[in-house]
Amino acid sequence: MLEHFLGGLAVVLQPLNLLLLTSAVFIGFIGGALPGISGVILVVILLPVTYGMEPTTAFMLLTAIYGATVFSGLITAILYRAPGTPEAVMTAFDGYPMTQQGQAGKALGIGVLSSAIGGLVGTVALIVFTPMLATMALRFSSPEYFALAILGLTVVASLGGRLIYGLIGAALGLLIATVGIDPLTGTSRYTFDNLNLAEGVGLIPMIVGLFAISEVMKRALDQDSHQPLEKVRIKIFDLPILRQIGGTLTRSSLIGVVTGILPGIGASTAAMVSYSEAVRWSKHPETFGKGAPEGVAAPESANNAAAMGALVPLFALGIPGSGTTAVILGAFIMHGLQPGPMFMITSSDLIYAVFAGLFIVNFMILLFSKPFIALFTKLLNVPYSALGPLIVMCCIVGTYSVRNSMFDVWLMLGFGVLGYLLEKLKFPLVSIILGLVLGPIAESELRRTLSMSQGDPSILFTRPISATLLAIACLLLTITIVTPLVKRLRSNRSTSLSSKQRSQS
């Protein structure tokens, strides 16, 4: 294995390949930092360019763009609460409050370091444990996928605000997820004979609307006088912060790897699951959503680790682990290659060159992110009266480019208004996204599970992995609900005792 990796590293360090790899990182930086543009779009755009390339070079380029895009979504998420990619939605939840508190440099430093560490952990796991991880993924069937989705949905109990708001938000997201063509029967649901809704409500219009457009409206309509810092000093290696987030980085990176290798789950889900676990393991869960460093570290380490983990089923099984890897699978087929069980044997040189390239990419993120972010932070000097319309324009262009649909643009603007109104009610917007992302997984896998068992739901509790995941979800949800009640009872008891002592004295 080491010999193969060193051989792949020698290929990567060839001058032309190294130049292409560097170019791919900067292309990914730009595409990921612009709201509405994602790794899928960039890979699709560059797919024709790679047709004339040698396969090893082509896939080093595509996978490097993929990894860099997942990272750079955090930049606008932290600075403007406009996630550049869907994977960065959770990062905005704590990253943007840190910016509002004058800690943008600190948040960006945590994000860069967490992304690089998560990516390195994912890449090392990819290299060392690919056969084992592929075997583990094969053990997951519909009951396990459903149980994992339910575990992810329990995070609504830990989100800021009232529990009932989180549950309503998740239910709204689940309802929106049912719009479109039923994936199992082909029946139209809640489309109202509108062909634009046949594919469902797009994740990009919803994310951009709820987070970016609503923030622009808030700043414009509320006449927000908050001025961003003129200069952001990014400190990536901060020992006290590293000690604070060390446990979160380890846990979230492992969650990202395991979640990433499960086909169809994706880095966005990994970020949400890791964020929920960061809240649950925290000694101060009330700080999340208000600028907690762990709230930036958890999703960024997880989504980058998951991006690398998503390549495991692609190489080992020929099954794409995410939307971007599905496009990369098409690129393999275009080049006359078929990933699968024999791919590690027949194309080991190509695979290990890609592994080595991804390993180098994570170091390039550490090296090049600071000067690249410095260019973006110069926008902080621009008055918001000029910057707001620029953000809206980028959101419109990015949203339109996904499906070339003006309907998506109007949908985005509608969700922007909804997001603005919900924020007035202190509503956790991320709970809606959580329902939209995990809803289709939970629904389709539950129906497949019931088909497997001929309508008997007990299959969820007789399979060890699914039963364990559901038990953990119930336990964590119970703890999250009961703990505040216990604290309130203790507080009331101590108050009554102190008042009794005062009255006696």
pLDDT in tens, 275-305: 888 888 888 887 888 888 888 989 999 988 8
**Which residue, chain included where needed, has tokens 């890897």?**
325
DSSP 71-105: HHHHHHHHHHS--SSGGGHHHHHHHHHHHHTT-HH
Q: Domain ranges for the chain, please list them.
A: 1-492
Average model confidence (pLDDT) across the chain: 79
Assess whether pLDDT exceeds 80 at residue 159. no
Write down the H helix ranges in 178-265.
Answer: 203-207, 214-221, 239-260
From 6-15, 84-93, 158-167, the region with the lowest mean pLDDT: 158-167
Cα(15)–Cα(488) distance, rounded to whole angstroms? 64
**What tens digit of pLDDT does each residue of 353-399 get?**
888 888 898 888 888 888 888 776 666 566 667 767 877 887 788 77
Instruction: Tell me the C-alpha to C-alpha distance, in Å, between residue 71 and each of 85, 205, 449.
Output: 9, 20, 35
Single-letter residue type at 82? A
**What tens digit of pLDDT does each residue of 297-324 get?**
899 999 888 888 878 777 776 666 666 7
pLDDT score for 381:
60
- DSSP-assigned letter for residue 285: G
Task: Collect all residues with Cβ–Cβ distance below 8 Å to 416 and sequence separation of at least 6.
Answer: 209, 210, 212, 213, 214, 216, 217
Cα(343)–Cα(337) distance, rounded to whole angstroms? 9
Question: What band does 226 get if pLDDT is binned at 50, 70 and 90?
Answer: very low
By CB neighbour count within 10 A (0-12 exposed, 13-18 middle, 19+ buried), where does 483 fall?
exposed
pLDDT score for 477:
75
Task: Tell which wins on pLDDT, 226 or 427.
Answer: 427
**What tens digit of pLDDT does each residue of 465-499 get?**
888 888 888 887 777 677 767 777 877 776 776 66
pLDDT score for 322:
65
Task: Tell which wins on pLDDT, 34 or 13.
Answer: 13
Closest CA to 161 of 498, 422, 456, 370: 422
CB 272 within 8 A of CB 93: no
**Which residue, chain included where needed, has tokens 């509503």?**
427
Question: What band does 410 get if pLDDT is binned at 50, 70 and 90?
Answer: very high
The pLDDT of 36-44, averaged and rounded, is 65
Task: Collect all residues with Cβ–Cβ distance below 8 Å to 197 and sequence separation of at least 6.
Answer: 179, 180, 190, 191
Give the N- to C-terminal CA distance of the chain in Å, as an integer: 77
From the CB of residue 464, how many other CB atoms can be counted at a distance below 10 Å? 10
Collapsed DSSP state (helix, strand, coil) of residue 454 = coil
- DSSP-assigned letter for residue 160: S
Instruction: Tell me the C-alpha to C-alpha distance, in Å, between residue 308 and each of 58, 68, 176, 259, 335.
Output: 17, 11, 29, 11, 22
Task: Collect all residues with Cβ–Cβ distance below 8 Å to 298 and sequence separation of at least 6.
Answer: 90, 114, 248, 251, 252, 271, 274, 275, 277, 278
Cα(83)–Cα(94) distance, rounded to whole angstroms? 12
**Cα–Cα–Cα angle for 79, 173, 69, nearest 5°?**
40
**What tens digit of pLDDT does each residue of 80-118 get?**
777 777 778 888 888 888 888 888 888 888 888 888 898
From the CB of residue 283, how many other CB atoms can be counted at a distance below 10 Å? 5
Question: What band does 225 get if pLDDT is binned at 50, 70 and 90?
Answer: very low
The pLDDT of 321-329, averaged and rounded, is 70
The pLDDT of 217-234, averaged and rounded, is 62
Write down the H helix ranges in 234-322.
Answer: 239-260, 266-281, 293-309, 311-317
From the CB of residue 236, how many other CB atoms can be counted at a distance below 10 Å? 17
Share of the chain above pLDDT 70, in %: 83
